[in-house]
């Protein structure tokens, strides 16, 4: 997947006239990485990927890396392995590849772990060979993308594993880093989770403040939503007590969110709904209690922490 070569800083990438720049090569894996699900589809077009990574490289002044220019000869070559220092799930490989490609297209890369691959402590993710300057100047940007997105994927996988063998599915929320929503929601999928609504225009979710603006009348709020929503749009209502759940069900809500309810209250709501609507649990859910929440019989469990509180996965690029 090649794109036109971008301008490079002359002092960092100076070469003698007779030397030609060989195209960057990537050796991918042959097996999809996500457990038991279809192939992951990276969400950015090549144009968007190029712009995203270029902005990050420019922010880091990767094409004017004074330390590398001063200390490393332009003809020096190196080999390096990007490894996991903690167990987790890989995510962000296309972004890392693009970072090295843009800084120096002579870098060759072997992909040892694709997005969605479980990693053990010390597992190799990428093996890189090529000009040392290119590897050094792209290193931080590549790691920033990988560590952040792998952190989201890794935390998601822990929640998914915690509810294994229940019917509950782990979903994300809109609590994402501004500008990174597409990538962070992709990372949730790489970890085995599912995406909730992408944005305010993609679905209807009537929350407590919406209901307050309708004088607390759930039926009115749902009716108004049905009047303006495109055909086929699901309508969800947030409820914080069982009485509201009955009102939402009577109003014809497709999805009912149980917000910050106790396990006992959620069990009562599962009995009230009786499979007539999708039930989503949200609020106050942690790795310590997610299994108990799943056991009450809800269909979805949405967790904002997947994207707003995921710790970066410890990864490092080690030169031979």
Catalytic positions are 140, 175, 207, 238, 259
Strand positions, DSSP E, the chain: 26-27, 77-84, 88-89, 108-111, 118-119, 124-131, 169-171, 204-206, 235-239, 255-259, 278-282, 300-302, 315-319
Q: Please provide the DSSP assignment of 80-101 as one string.
A: EEEEESS-EE---HHHHHHHHH
Distance CA 197, CA 236 (A): 11
Strand positions, DSSP E, 90-168: 108-111, 118-119, 124-131
Q: In the numeric block, which tokens belong to residue 106?
A: 């002579």
Q: Which residue from 166, 81, 165 is spatially nearest to 128, judged by alpha carbons? A: 81
> End-to-end distance of the chain based on CA atoms, in angstroms?
28
Q: Is 203 exposed, middle or buried (0-12, 13-18, 19+ CB in 10 A)?
A: middle
């Amino acid at each position: 997947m090649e794109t036109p070569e971008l301008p490079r800083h002359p002092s960092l990438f100076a070469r003698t006239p007779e030397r030609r720049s060989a195209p960057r090569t990537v050796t991918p894996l042959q097996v999809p990485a996500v457990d038991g699900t279809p192939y992951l589809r990276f969400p950015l077009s090549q144009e968007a990927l190029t712009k995203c990574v270029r902005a990050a490289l420019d922010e880091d002044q990767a094409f004017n890396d004074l330390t590398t220019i001063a200390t490393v000869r332009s003809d020096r070559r190196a080999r390096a392995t990007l490894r996991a220092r903690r167990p987790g799930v890989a995510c962000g490989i296309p972004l890392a590849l693009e970072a090295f490609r843009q800084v120096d297209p002579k870098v060759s890369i072997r992909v040892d772990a694709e997005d969605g691959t479980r990693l053990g402590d010390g597992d190799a993710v990428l093996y890189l060979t090529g000009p040392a300057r290119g590897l050094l100047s792209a290193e931080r940007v590549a790691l920033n993308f990988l560590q952040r997105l792998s952190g989201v994927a890794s935390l998601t996988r822990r929640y998914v594993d915690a509810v294994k063998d229940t019917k509950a599915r782990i979903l994300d929320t809109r609590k994402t880093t501004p500008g990174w929503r597409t990538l962070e929601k992709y990372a949730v999928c790489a970890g085995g989770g599912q995406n909730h609504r992408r944005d305010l225009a993609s679905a209807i979710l009537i929350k407590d403040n919406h209901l307050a603006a309708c004088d607390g009348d759930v039926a009115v709020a749902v009716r108004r939503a049905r009047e303006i929503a495109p055909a086929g749009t699901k309508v969800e209502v947030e409820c914080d007590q069982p009485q509201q759940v009955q009102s939402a069900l009577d109003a014809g809500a497709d999805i009912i969110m149980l917000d910050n309810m106790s396990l006992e209250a959620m069990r009562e709501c599962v009995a009230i709904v009786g499979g007539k609507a999708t039930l989503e649990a949200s609020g106050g859910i942690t790795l310590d209690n997610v299994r108990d929440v799943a056991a009450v019989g809800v269909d979805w469990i949405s967790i904002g922490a997947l994207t707003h509180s995921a710790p970066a996965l410890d990864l490092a690029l080690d030169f031979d």
